[in-house]
Amino acid sequence: MDLLANLALGFSEALTSTNLFYCFIGCLLGTLIGVLPGLGPPATIAMLLPMTFTLEPSSSLIMLAGIYYGAQYGGSTTAILVNLPGESSSVVTALDGYQMARNGKAGLALSTAALASFAAGSIATLVIAAAAPLLAAFALEFHAPDYFALMVLGLIASVVLAQGSVLKALSMIIFGLIVGIVGTDVTTGVSRMTLGRAELIDGVSIVAVAMGIFGLGEIMQNLTHGDEGRSSYRAQLNSLLPSWQDLRQMAAPIARGTGLGTILGILPGGGALLSSFTAYAMEKKLASDPTRFGRGAIEGVAAPEAANNAGAQTSLIPLLTLGLPSNVIAALMAGAMIIQGIQPGPNVIIEQPTLFWGLIASMWIGNVMLVILNLPLIGLWVRLLTIPYKLLFPAILAFCAIGVFSLSFSTFDIWVMVVFGAFGYLFRRLDCEPAPFLLGMVLGPMMEENLRRAMLLSRGDPLVFLQRPISATLLLLALVAVVMVSLPAIRKQRDQALEE
């Protein structure tokens, strides 16, 4: 009964005209950036963060969440029709979806992706509604040492699941932690690493950093590739209605993809990307004829599309219940909550129930909106792909500059964006994932606060982290993860799995 009452509270908040409007805007923008290569949820959310500061907290989070899971829908449309994934998590969908389109089944592929996304998104939202209060109640047992250990485990897990070198991922986290603690020490009031700049007393702007890394960095990377890879083939749309046989064939892959995405989405560093690739690999291993995959197998569209949408939505569970962002999108949303004066964590459910349950209810509404939006606008999305990137990037650049300047009306923030734009490009050239850096930057101040609080309460005794069962278990898991990923045999298997 509590769940029904909470959902009723959530729908009463989500169904207000204002929140419906921002949910629609988030879904529409998410679909658009999913379609267009060169954008992506991190860059778009970073650009829109300044605008959300003038909104009510629930409206801003509803819109940002809509952008995130809306991008998973949009990315599949162009992946299927023109073999051009708008989103990284839609790369797998292109393998069989594009071949289905070439075989005259473009409509079936699109409807499969839409049905899988809708079903997975709805189920994942139900999982969030059921599991989040339980996790939040458990999190209330956490004390400062436990929170510190949890954040250490989260950062280590993001290293294990990051692509490329483990050493590079660790370096990115350390760099992020250093940038995150720039500013005034909250305990002593002493300025740290400000380089004598008064603008850095309050710390480095996470919005400026995110826009630089994911906005300018992405622009630089895309300009080096131009419009290469855009397919000249345009699929002809046929009927969008699947037959009963098609529905039976896609039902089991959707269920498996949803279950897998729901679990993997919760993991730090997981989310939509890891979920979609893993679901595709699982379907290929379970298939009686694996050679069908890559030639237009409907399972190759249904499973990854279900997985990436489930993963996108359940990746918000750690943020809402533990205050731990599991990926870069959640880190940006955490930044938005902190700037709004809301501390992410278990107290959100208790102190801000309308915000929490309104966000969850908006996910159901958003999934319905996305199904209604996507299919009629397919023709428009495909026509947008004919716009050369050289005409798109100046507008993206202008939005980034305006958004950063509007934060504090300071040109210093624009220079911060430019500097981290260069870092973002350098990260990509060196095959360093920027996500661990941003996670480190967001978690850095919280880790320091909980570390110092734990040491003060224990009067400087570091054994406090081993004396508490929760923190000791979490640190042990982090140590096991580091040791396992350091072993040559396991590291080789990890690299092969990520490559696949």
- What is the torsion angle, in degrees rounded to the nearest 10, for the CA atoms of residue 473, residue 474, residue 475 and residue 476? 50
CA distance 241 to 114: 11
What DSSP assignment string belongs to 168-235?
A: HHHHHHHHHHHHHT-EE-TTT--EES-TT-GGGTT---HHHHHIIIIIIHHHHHHHHHTTTT-----P
pTM score, whole prediction: 0.68
Q: What is the predicted pLDDT for the residue at 389?
A: 64
- Cα R_g (the chain), whole angstroms: 22
Angle between helices 469-486 and 488-499 in degrees, nearest 10 = 80
- Give pLDDT < 70 ranges for the chain: 1, 35-41, 43, 72, 75, 78, 82-91, 158, 160-164, 186, 225-240, 267-274, 375, 378-387, 389, 392, 403, 406-407, 485-500
Q: What is the predicted pLDDT for the residue at 263?
A: 80
Q: What is the predicted pLDDT for the residue at 20?
A: 92
CA distance 476 to 481: 9
- What is the torsion angle, in degrees rounded to the nearest 10, for the CA atoms of residue 393, residue 230, residue 385 and residue 402? -10
Q: Where are the alpha helices (DSSP H) in 340-468?
A: 347-351, 353-374, 378-384, 389-408, 411-429, 434-457, 464-467
Total residue length of the chain: 500
How far are the Cα atoms of 25, 87, 292, 354, 366 from residue 369, in angstroms, in the given order?
10, 19, 33, 21, 5
Contact predicate 79/90, CB 8 Å: yes
Listed in sequence order, the residues at least 6 apart from 218 whose beta carbon sits closer than 8 Å to its beta carbon are 38, 39, 40, 43, 424
| Amino acid letter, residue 259 | G
Q: How many domains is the chain built from?
A: 1
Q: What is the predicted pLDDT for the residue at 21?
A: 92
Neighbours of 232 (CB within 10 A): 5
CA distance 280 to 298: 11
Neighbours of 320 (CB within 10 A): 26
Q: What is the predicted pLDDT for the residue at 386?
A: 63
Contact predicate 107/310, CB 8 Å: no
pLDDT, one tens digit per residue, over 230-264 is 444 455 555 567 778 878 888 888 999 888 888 87
| Amino acid letter, residue 94 | A
Smallest CA-to-CA distance from 61 within 13, 126, 116 is with: 13
Smallest CA-to-CA distance from 96 within 229, 248, 250 is with: 250
Smallest CA-to-CA distance from 139 within 348, 280, 327 is with: 348
Contacts 24+ apart (CB under 8 A), 366-369: 366/23, 366/26, 366/27, 366/62, 366/65, 366/66, 366/69, 366/70, 366/121, 367/69, 367/117, 367/118, 367/121, 367/122, 367/125, 368/118, 369/23, 369/24, 369/27, 369/66
- Tell how strand 183-184 and strand 191-192 pair up: antiparallel
Look-up of token digits 């694996």: 290
Which two three-digit tokens encode residue 112? 């499969």
Smallest CA-to-CA distance from 315 within 65, 27, 58, 43 is with: 65
**For residue 29, what are the domain limits?**
2-499
Q: What is the predicted pLDDT for the residue at 493?
A: 58
Q: What is the predicted pLDDT for the residue at 29?
A: 82
Measured at the CA of 157, the angle between CA 50 and CA 448, to 5 degrees, comes to 60
Contact predicate 375/167, CB 8 Å: no
Smallest CA-to-CA distance from 218 within 44, 25, 77 is with: 44
| Amino acid letter, residue 129 | A
Q: What is the predicted pLDDT for the residue at 288?
A: 80
Give 91's strand partners: none
